[in-house]
Structure 1
Amino acid sequence: MVLQQSQSSPEQLTRNYYLLLAVVFVGYLIFGISENMKGPALPRMQEDFRLEEWQLGLLLAFNSLGFLLACSFAGRVVQTIGLRTACLLTFGFMAASGWLIGSAQGFVPFAGAFFFFYVWNGLLEIALAVLSARLFTKNTGFMMNLSHFFYGLSSTGAPLAATGMMAWSVGGEALGWRGMYTVLLLTCALPMLPALLAKFPKESAAQAEARVTWRSFMRDKVAWCVVVLLAFGVTAELAVGGWLVNFLEKSYGWDTVRASGMLSAFFFCFTIARLVLGPLTDRFGFVKSIVLFAGFSGACTCAGILLGEPGAALLALAGAGIAPVYPTVMAFLAKRYPHGTDAAITFTVTTIGILGIVGNFLIGAATDALGYRAGYSLIGLSALGCAAAGVVLYRWLHKEGRVI
C-alpha cells in the first residue's frame, strides 16, 4: 500500500496524509452525528406516526437491513469504482437523505427514506474502515481507537444538539424532528472537500494477488467467532442510542432534556475511553482488551438496571467499556488478515448486520411484552455475551500460538 507515487516529495506525502486523516476523522464525526441524532427524535416520530413499541423495533431492524444490504456489496463497490469515489458518493447521498427523511409525510415513505439513509450509512462504515486499515499500518490499535474517538465525540453532542435544534423557532414554528434531520445531515457533505483533494491509498499488487475470499472466511472458525463477538458488541453499543432516552422517559418519567443529557453522558464516557484506553490495546493485547472492556460494560448496565433510577449513572458509565470493542476488532482483523483486510472487514460487518436486525427486533419485542427494564437488560446481556465470545476466541488463538 502506498499513499503516493515514489517521485512525490516528503511535503506532498505529509500533506496527503493529513488530508486523508481529515477524511477519516471528519468522516467519523459526521458518522457519529448521523447514528445518534435519532435518540431524542424517536419518541416524537413514534407519536407522529402512532407506532407501537414493536413497530419502533421493526423500524430500527429495517434500518439494520439497509445497512446489511450496503455492506454486502460495499467491498465490490470499493474495488470497482475506487475508495475515493465511494466515499464521495456516500457523503453526498447521506446529505441528500436528510431532505428525504424530513419531507416524508406517511410512515411508509418515512421508512423508505430511513432505509435509503442507512444503505449509505452502511457503505460509509465499510469505506472508513477500509481507509483506516490501509492508512494505519503502525500503532494500529491506538489509531483505530483514535479515529473512532471522533465518532464518540460527535455522538456525545448529537443528542443534545438534536434536542436543542428541534426546539428552534423557524417562521414562528418549531423546527421539529423533520427540520433537525434535514439540517444536521447536511454536515455529511463536509468531508467531500478533503476527499476531492487527497490521493487515496491502494492495495499493492502483492496484496491484491493474495486477497482472501469470502469462501475462505466462511471456513475459518476464528472469523465466525469474531462475528459473534462483534455482533454482541455492536448491539450493546448502538442500541443505547435508540433505547436509552425512551427507557429513561417511560420508566422513570424523566423529561427529554434530562434523558438526552444521560445519553450524552454515555457518549462522553464512550469518547474519553477511546482516547485514553486506545493505546492500552496495543500493549495489553487486542483480545484481552475486548474481554475486559466488554465485561465491564455489561456489568455496569446490568447493575444500573437492578438498582433502578439511583443506578442510572451506571448506564452512562457502561459507555467507557463498550467503546474500544469495535475499533479494537478492526485492528485485530487488520493484523490477523494482512492480505485480506478489505474482505475481512466486509465479511464481518455484513454478517453482524444480520444479527443486528435480530437484536433490534428482540429488544423492541421484549420491551413491548415485558417492559422497558427487561428490554434494556438485553443490552447489558449483549455486552456480557461479547466478553464471553472473547474468552472463546482467546482460547482458540492461544492453542494456535497466534494470540493478538
Structure 2
Amino acid sequence: MENHRFNYIVLLFVVFGGFLIFGLSENIKGPALPIMQSDFKLKESQLGVLLSLNSLGYLLACSFTSSLSNKVGIKWTGILAFISMVLAGIFMYLSNGYTSLTLSYFMLYLGNGILEIGLGIMAARIFTKNTGTMMNLSHFFYGLSSIVAPVLGASMMGWDVLGGELGWRGMYLMILSLAILPIIPSLIGKFPDDHQQNGESTSMRNLIRDPIAWMIVAILSFGVVSELSIGSWLVYFLENAYDWSIKKASEMLSLFFLFFTLSRLFVGPITDKIGYTLSIMIFSGFSGVCSLAAIFSGENGAILFAIAGIGIAPIYPTVMALLSKQYPKGVGTAITFTVTLMGIASVVGNLLVGFIIDFVYKKIGQGSVENKIIGLQAGYMFIGGLAILCSVCCMLLYRILRKRNQDEGNEMI
C-alpha cells in the first residue's frame, strides 16, 4: 500500500510538472519574438512560417504519439518529449540563422505536441478515480504557468549573466532545461498500462464508425475553438469596438485567464459529482450566454467577456475525463482521434472568425469606419455561438448515452 501511494505521488510530479513546463514552453515566445525578428532581420512572412510550425508540429505529434506509446510505453514517450524540449533549447541557443532557428522551433513544437498527447494518455491511465477533478487540476497547472510565462520570459531576457544580458537564447535554454526535472520521477515511477477491461479494444476504425466518438469531437472542437478565439480576438474587439487602450484591453484578457485558471482549480469536483456530459453542457452554455450578453449589453457589460472564462475552462479537461471513461481500453487512440480532428477544426475556426468580421463589415456595415463594430459584434457572436453549439451537442450526447443506459464510470451521466 505504501509503495502504491509513493508511486502515485511520483506520477503526480510527472503529470503536474509536465503541464507546468508545457505551459511555460508554449507561452514564453511572446516577448522573445520581436527580439528574434530584429536579431535575424526577419520579415513578417518568415515570422508567420516560424509560428505555423506550432500547428504543424502539434498535428504531426497527434498522428504518431498514441502508436509510439503503445510500442515503447507511455513512460518513454514522456521522457522522449522532455528530452526533445531540452535539445530544442540547446539548438535555439546555438542557432545562428533563420534556418537553424526554424528547425529548433520545429523540434520544440514537435516535443510539445508529443508531451500534450502523452500527458493526456498518462492522466487518463493514472486518474481512474475522481477523474474530472484530477484532469481539471492537471490543466490548472498549464494555465498557471501560461499566466506566468510572458512576464517571466521578459524578465529573464534582461538578467545580467556573466557580465552580459541573458537575452532570448539564454532564456529559452534555461526555461526548456527545466524539462530535465520531470525525467527523474519518470524514471522512478511505474506507469499503468491501458486499463484491462472486458470488451473489444478501441481502434481507429471503431472510432470512425462510432457516432458517440464524432459527437465528442464536435463538443471538443466547438468548445476549444471558442476558447482559443476569445484569447485571440478579445483584445482586438475591445480596442476597435470600444476604443479601449491596449493596456486596458489586455487587463480584461488577463482577467479572463484568471477566471479561466481558477475555474479549472475549483470546478473539477462538480464534474465528478454531476457527470461529465452534463457538466460540459452547463459550463459551455454558461460561457456562450456570457459572451452573447456581453455583446448585447455594450461596453458596460464587458466584464462578462472575462466571466465567460469560468464556463469555457473545464471543457477540454472534462472531455479528456469523458474519453477515459467512454473508451477505457484504448484511451490513447481515442485521445489521438479526438484531438487531431479538434486541431484541424481550431485552424478553420479562427479563420472563420476573421472572415465573418470582414464580410459583415463590408456587406452590412458597407465598409464605413463607424459601422465596423457591426462586423466585430458578428465575429464575437460566432465565438459565443460556438460555445452554445458545444452545449447543444452535449445535450444530444446526453440523450444518446441515456438511451444506451451508459454511465461515466462511477458518475452518472
TM-score (norm 2): 0.81
Give the CA deviation at 1:61: 5.2
Alignment of 1:235-274 (within 5 A): 235-244=225-234, 252=243, 254-255=245-246, 261-274=251-264
Instruction: Give the length in aligned residue pairs.
Output: 391
Which residue number corresponds to residue 297 of structure 1?
A: 287
Which residue number corresponds to residue 365 of structure 2?
A: none
Query: How many Å separate the matches in 1 of 2:156 and 2:231?
Result: 18
Query: How many Å separate the matches in 1 of 2:145 and 2:33?
Result: 18
Paired residue secondary structure (1:124): helix
Give the unaligned 5+ runs of structure 2. 362-371, 408-412
Residue 81 of structure 2 is aligned to residue 90 of structure 1:
yes
Q: For the structure 1 residues 142 and 64, does the alpha-carbon distance in structure 2 shift closer, same or farther, using more than 3 Å as the test?
A: same
Which residue number corresponds to residue 64 of structure 2?
A: 73
Task: Say if 2:126 and 2:191, in contact at 8 Å, map to a contact too.
Answer: no
Further displaced range: 120-129 or 262-271: 262-271
Residue 152 of structure 2 is aligned to residue 161 of structure 1:
yes
Residue 389 of structure 2 is aligned to residue 399 of structure 1:
no
Give the CA deviation at 1:90: 0.4
Which residue number corresponds to residue 44 of structure 2?
A: 51
**Which AA in structure 1 matches 2:313?**
A
Query: How many Å separate the matches in 1 of 2:382 and 2:93?
Result: 31
Q: Comparing both chains, which one has the higher relative contact order based on Cα–Cα distances under 8 Å and sequence gaps of 6 or more?
A: 1
Which residue number corresponds to residue 326 of structure 2?
A: 336
Task: Say if 1:43 and 1:246, in contact at 8 Å, map to a contact too.
Answer: no
Q: CA RMSD in A?
A: 3.5
Q: String of CA shifts for 1:38-69, please: whole Å, max 9, x gaps.
A: 455567778874437xx987765542232111
Alignment of 1:3-402 (within 5 A): 10-39=1-30, 49-51=42-44, 62-100=53-91, 110-166=101-157, 168=159, 180-203=171-194, 206-207=196-197, 210-244=200-234, 252=243, 254-255=245-246, 261-305=251-295, 310-363=300-353, 373=376, 378-402=382-406
Further displaced range: 146-155 or 68-77: 146-155
Q: String of CA shifts for 1:369-393, please: whole Å, max 9, x gaps.
A: 7689465555433323322222222
Query: How many Å separate the matches in 1 of 2:96 and 2:220?
Result: 36
Q: For the structure 1 residues 58 and 397, does the alpha-carbon distance in structure 2 shift closer, same or farther, using more than 3 Å as the test?
A: farther
Query: How many Å separate the matches in 1 of 2:323 and 2:59?
Result: 19
Give the CA deviation at 1:368: 7.3
**Which AA in structure 2 matches 1:143?**
M
Task: Say if 1:24 and 1:131, in contact at 8 Å, map to a contact too.
Answer: yes
Query: How many Å separate the matches in 1 of 2:281 and 2:190?
Result: 37
Q: For the structure 1 residues 282 and 85, does the alpha-carbon distance in structure 2 shift closer, same or farther, using more than 3 Å as the test?
A: same
Query: How many Å separate the matches in 1 of 2:222 and 2:139?
Result: 18
Query: How many Å separate the matches in 1 of 2:398 and 2:333?
Result: 22
Query: How many Å separate the matches in 1 of 2:87 and 2:10?
Result: 24
Which residue number corresponds to residue 4 of structure 1?
A: none
Further displaced range: 81-90 or 111-120: 111-120
Query: How many Å separate the matches in 1 of 2:86 and 2:215?
Result: 35
Give the unaligned 5+ runs of structure 1. 1-9
Paired residue secondary structure (1:199): coil
Q: For the structure 1 residues 359 and 196, does the alpha-carbon distance in structure 2 shift closer, same or farther, using more than 3 Å as the test?
A: same
Identity of matched residues, %: 49
Further displaced range: 103-112 or 180-189: 103-112
